[in-house]
Chains A and B, each alone.
Chain A
Amino acid sequence: MSLWMTIITASVAVLALKLIGYVVPRSFGEHPTVQNASSILTIALLASLVTTQTLGSATGFALDARVVAIVLAGVLLWLRAPFIVVVIAGAASAAVLRATGLMP
Chain B
Amino acid sequence: MDATTRRTVSMGLGVSLAVSMYGVSFGALSVASGLDVWQTQVLSLLMFSGGSQFAVIGLVAAGASGFSAIASAALLGVRNTLYAVTIAPTVGGGFWRRIVAGHWTIDESTAVSIAQDDVRHKRLGFWITGAGIFVGWNLMTFVGAILGDALGDVRAYGLDAAAAAAFLGLLWPRLSGRDPIAIAVVAAVVTAWALPSLPPGVPVLVAAAVGLVAGLWLKRGRP
Chain A interfacial positions (CB closer than 8 Å to B)? 1-15, 17-22, 24, 26, 28-30, 32-56, 58-61, 65-66, 69-70, 73-74, 77, 82-84, 86-96, 98-99
Q: What total of chain B residues lie within 8 Å of the partner, measured CB to CB? A: 97
Q: In the complex, what residue of chain B is closest to A72 when comparing beta carbons?
A: B165
State the majority secondary structure of interface residues on B.
helix
How near does chain B come to A32, taking the closest CB pair, in angstroms? 7
Is B171's beta carbon under 8 Å from chain A?
A: yes
Would you give the 0/1 interface string for B62-77, flagging 1 where the beta carbon is closer than 8 Å to chain A?
A: 1101110110111111
| B168 with A22: CB separation less than 8 A | no
Summed over the interface, the residue pairs from A and B with CB atoms below 8 Å come to a total of 309
Q: In the complex, what residue of chain B is closest to A2 when comparing beta carbons?
A: B66
How near does chain A come to B158, taking the closest CB pair, in angstroms? 3
| B54 with A49: CB separation less than 8 A | yes
Task: Give residues of chain B (146-180) contacting chain A, Cβ–Cβ below 8 Å.
Answer: 155-172, 174-175, 180
Chain B interfacial positions (CB closer than 8 Å to A)? 18, 21-22, 25, 34-35, 39, 42-43, 46-49, 51-52, 54-56, 58-60, 62-63, 65-67, 69-70, 72-86, 88-89, 98-99, 101-103, 105, 155-172, 174-175, 180, 183-188, 190-192, 195-197, 200, 203-204, 207-208, 210-212, 214-216, 219, 223
